[in-house]
Amino acid sequence: MRPPAARDVFRDELAVDDVSWKRGRACALAQAPVQLPYYRDTNPVLAANARHVIAEVTADA
């Protein structure tokens, strides 16, 4: 996930509508909780990314 300011620029450059933006966030949020327990012990980098995605998407809600 990009930092909040970068997300705004990214979204503006793509001209993404609200529904598509929410769908993308939902997709990221749907994948991260599945990745976290799966990779917790085998791939700490992916597990950390999953935690980051969950925190960013829920904080930005």
Position 2 scores a pLDDT of 72
Q: What predicted TM-score, i.e. pTM, was given to this entire model?
A: 0.77
Q: In angstroms, how far is CA 12 from the centroid of its own chain?
A: 17
| Measured distance CA(53)–CA(42) in Å, rounded | 18
- Tens digit of each residue's pLDDT (9 = 90 or more) over 3-46: 778 888 999 999 999 999 999 999 999 999 999 999 999 999 99
| Measured distance CA(41)–CA(4) in Å, rounded | 29
Position 61 scores a pLDDT of 65
